[in-house]
Each structure stands twice: as C-alpha cells, then as structure tokens.
Amino acid sequence: MESSTDHDATMVAGQTGYAVPLIVAVTGHRDLVAREVPEIRVQVSEFLNRLLTHYPERGVTVMSPLAEGADQLVAEEALQLGIPVIVPLPMPREIYATEFETAAAREKFMTLLSRATEVFELPVLPGSSEESIADHGDDRARQYAQLGVFLCAHCHILMALWDGKYPDELGGTSQVVRFHQEDVMPGYIPSSETSRLVLADDESDLVYHIVCSRDRADGQPADGLQALSSSWFTTDESAPRTDRLSKRHKNVFDHTREFSRDAKQYEDRIREEAWSLIDNARAGELPAGVRDIDHIFRTADWLAIHFQKRFLMLLRATHVLALLMGVMYIAYSDVYAAKTFIIAFVGFFLVAAAIQKVGAKHAWHRKYLDYRTLAEGLRVQFYWAVAGVRSESVSKFAHDNFLKMQDSDLGWIRNVMRVAGLECDVSPNLEKPGLYFAMSEWIGDETSGQLGYYRRKAAEKIGRNERTERFAAIVLWASVAAFALFVFASDELAHTVRGPVVILMGVLLLSIGIRQSYGHSVADFELIKQYEFMFRIFSKAYQRIKQSDSDEERRRILRLVGDVALEEHAEWILMHRERSINEGEIWRMTG
C-alpha cells in the first residue's frame, strides 16, 4: 500500500476537510467498441457533473483500478473534472503492469497512476503467491475477485460500463455487479457465507449502469438492453431500472450530506475541542490509515455531544414547563379559580410546544442519536483496524453488518464507515503494538477504557435511579401522613390544613410523575441494564485476554467484543428513537 500524497489527520478518501466524499467505483469491460467510446465519455462526464452539482457539500471521488477500457476511461473523465482518483490495484504493481501488452499501454497506465491521489496494492490471497498470480489462471482470477469485493465494499455508487450479460468469469464485471447487489460471487465466496442480510433493504446495492457493447463476435448487449442507454440499477423488485435515484438511496445520500454540512459548519470547534482515540505519545505505533477513522470519529463524537446538549436542554425545559403547567392547574382547581392560572397554563403549554417545534425542525434528537451511533460504530472500526481484527468472511468488513437489519435510513451510517475504513481494509495490521494499544485503550481496566466507562456510567444511572426511588418513597409516606392527619385530627384542624396539604401533595406527586417521565424519555432503566450487560462483556473480555498467550486468540476476543458492541449500539438507537416528546406527551405528563 502506498499513497501519492502526505497523509495527515484531515485526509479522508482522497479529500481534505470535514466532508464525507461520495465515492464512485468503476467496473467495466476492457474491450469497448471504438465507435461507442465518445458517447460513453459524454455520459460518464455528465453523470459525474450531476453528482458534483447535487452534492457540493461532499464532493466526489472516483475509485478505479485503471485497467484498459472502462477503468481508464472513467478515471480520465474524472481527472478532467478535477475529481480525485483512488487506485486500488488487484496485485503488486509490477505484476499488474504485465496486463498492459504494449509499451504505449503501460506508459498510459503509469501516467494515470502518477496522477492518482492514493494508490493501494491489495495483498496476495492466502494459498497464492506472487509466482502463482504472475500468469493468468485461477489464482490471478481470485485476485480480481478480491478487487471486485473491495470496490463494492468501499463505494457508494458502482458505475458499471457493462453489456448486461452474466457470464461465469471469476472477478469479471458481471460478477462484481452481482456481488454488489446479491452478496454472491461463485468461486471466491463460499455459498455458506452468503449473508442473510441480502434479504434486508440495503443501501449498498446501487449501480449506475451505462450499457455498452463489447468488441467481439457476440458483443451486443443483453436482450432488452440498448447500447449507450443508462439507468440506475438496483435490487428493487418492482422497478430495478429507473431514470431517477430511488427514495431510499436518496434519503441515505441526503443524511450523509447533512452530516457533511454540520461537520463543515462546526469544523473550527471540532478541530479545537474534539476528543481523539489516538494517544499522541503512541501514535507512531499505529497504522497510518486509522487517522481517517479517528478523524471522522472525532467529528461524529463532537457533533453527537453538541446535539445531545441541545436535545437535553429541550427535554429538561419541556419537563419544567410541564411541571409549571401542573402547578397552575392545581392552583386553579384547589386554590383560587382565577383566569390568570388558566392563561399561565396555556402559555406554558404553548412555550413547550414551540420549543418542541424548534427541536423537531432542526432534528436535534435524530442527529444526536444518528451521530452517536456513527461515533460508536467508528470506535469499533478504529480499534479493530488498530489491532488487525478481520472478519471471518473474505467479503465482509467492519461496516458491512452494522445496522443492516434496522431502518434503511440508517444506511447512511454504513456509507460513512465504508469511507473511513478504506485504507485500513486493504490489509490487516498485525504488529503487536497495535494489538496491545487496542487492549489497553479499548478494553481498559476498572478505571480506564470501555470497561471503566461502563462501570462508571452504570453506577451513575443506578445512583440517579435510587435517588428517584427515595424521593418517591418520601412522597408516599408523606401522603400516608397527610391522610392520617385528616383521619385523626380534629375537624377544625383538618379543615384548616386541608388546602395547603392537598396542594403540597399534588405538587409532590406531580414532581414524581415529571421525574419518572424524564427518566422514561432518556431510558434510564433500560440504560442501566445495557451498561451492566456491557460491563460484564468487557469484564469477561479483560479476563480472557489476560489469560491468553496467543495474539490470534486475543484478536478473536476483540472481534467478538466488537460484534456485541455493534449489536448493542443498534439496540440503543432503536430504543431511543421511540422516546421523543410531543404535544400529546406534554398533556399526559400534566395529568
């Protein structure tokens, strides 16, 4: 792996700054028909220009292996438009260069390679060697299959310059398209590894298909397709080919654009205030690619905290206003039936409703939840990359299974993660310092890492819950005392204190109800169980890692911990998305 640019903390997939680029990967035929090439160039250029126009906050990056034909054509059009080009090579450069049979072809390849923003060499697969992939055969074909999986896993749109036919050539264009949409690549991925997640609404099936012919005897496009036509091509059963981007994909792109816009708006504060996963004293021990993940983590984490503060401010203000509404109602019904109290009651409600409208308009609650979920997914991705943890499947990366069976709108989170982990996913980091860094900084101990975090947070939540229960018990016994007073006191005394006592008890009971409603809104009880569960998971991982003397076993434990953490984050966002406050809930609290 190598890069043609200096790597810094703000470099993400070939672009600097805080925006998340939209990555277009290329797959296509090498033997394009010469007479069709000019029109194909026009269509490619127009498509890339449309993306630049529609997503100016993000920018566009093209990922192309620079094979002759389609790969080089798209790369040339991208460079003409000033779009960065990332080049993943299916094998070491010297071996790949033998694909170019003439000196002119090799020179063109090297020229385009020199203009790339980043260049990655994918590793030789286990069971193969540089000697076995030097000649055309099964081992070399498996390298191209690996390249196709890598392209699909790290792009947002797969641009296919393709005739639409499905031959069985391993690693060929048709198999790449099929893998992108169906998670299937016969000859490279065992059928037993085909994911159940292909049944979910997946944002990663998006193909932009430019139909082309091939310069061969049977080179016409597949039946039903016309050369030089183009369309969006997805797994949608009712409309697989459309002129416009589908709603579910548009929503994913819009959310990613919104994240990029927020990141750019607050980039100065993020740069100064955001917390990093990288310990500067040990930064030299870590692979360079994790800086991309950390950069986006810092952005997502800061934004999550920022919008969490706004949401909690809104939530607390709403509950305080609900308490004041209840007090006004009690005052009107039990003290003095003055219109002033009713006017105040309505006024407090209108203020609370207005606050809710402001929060809903700016999506503080949704942004807090989405950005926190993204940050926690990136945390797992970061430490897996640092420690050299890889999926057991040759076709899966850290982002692939996260939130797949949840709301398809959350696919934008995977879209960001597939950009962040691009460089680290080229090959695992198997150096010991990275593994030990992940064990100490991620797992931690009783006072540090996630183990220390979940211990502290569980104790905080339990303490707050116990204080609420004590307050409720005090109110209960005060109520019993008040009733006893009315029963055993003289009629004159009972009549004298009845009003103040009833009002006091009403306010106390209302306060308990408001406090319990707030606890429900922030899911205090559920979070206690979640924190305690995660504390047990990290405790067991800590003990297992201490007992293990095998780095391979330690990485396996870290992978299992990460899988559990990702599942818990998915549960967390679903739980909290149902806890928003609206006008009906405000009325209920005052009841």
Q: Give how far Cα 453 sits from Cα of 435, 448, 464, 522, 569, Å.
A: 20, 7, 17, 18, 15
- Note whether 352 and 230 are same-domain residues: no
- Note whether 366 and 458 are same-domain residues: yes
- Note whether 317 and 168 are same-domain residues: no
Least confident of 134-138, 233-237, 472-476, 485-489: 485-489
- Note whether 231 and 288 are same-domain residues: no
Tell me whether residue 275 is in a domain. no
Tell me whether residue 104 is in a domain. yes
Tell me whether residue 549 is in a domain. yes
- Note whether 302 and 196 are same-domain residues: no
Name the 3-class secondary structure at 540: helix
Q: Tell me what pLDDT residue 373 has.
A: 92
User: pLDDT, tens digit, for every residue of 537-572?
Assistant: 999 999 999 999 999 999 999 999 998 998 888 888
Question: CA 352, CA 583: separation in Å to the nearest integer?
Answer: 8
Tell me whether residue 586 is in a domain. yes
Q: Tell me what pLDDT residue 53 has.
A: 94
Tell me whether residue 219 is in a domain. yes
Distant-in-sequence, close-in-space partners of 426: CB < 8 Å, separation ≥ 6: 1, 88, 120, 121, 122, 123, 150, 289
User: pLDDT, tens digit, for every residue of 444-462?
Assistant: 988 899 999 999 989 988 9
- Note whether 169 and 305 are same-domain residues: no
User: pLDDT, tens digit, for every residue of 47-99?
Assistant: 999 999 999 888 899 999 999 999 999 999 999 999 999 999 999 999 999 99
Count: domains in the chain: 2
User: pLDDT, tens digit, for every residue of 102-142?
Assistant: 999 999 999 999 999 999 999 999 999 999 999 999 999 99
Tell me whether residue 254 is in a domain. no
Tell me whether residue 234 is in a domain. yes
Least confident of 235-239, 326-330, 382-386: 326-330
Tell me whether residue 267 is in a domain. no
Residue 8 CA, distance from chain mean position: 22
Name the 3-class secondary structure at 82: coil
Distant-in-sequence, close-in-space partners of 510: CB < 8 Å, separation ≥ 6: 323, 326, 327, 330, 590
Q: Give how far Cα 18 sits from Cα of 244, 296, 494, 587, Å.
A: 28, 8, 68, 42
Range of the domain at 77: 2-244
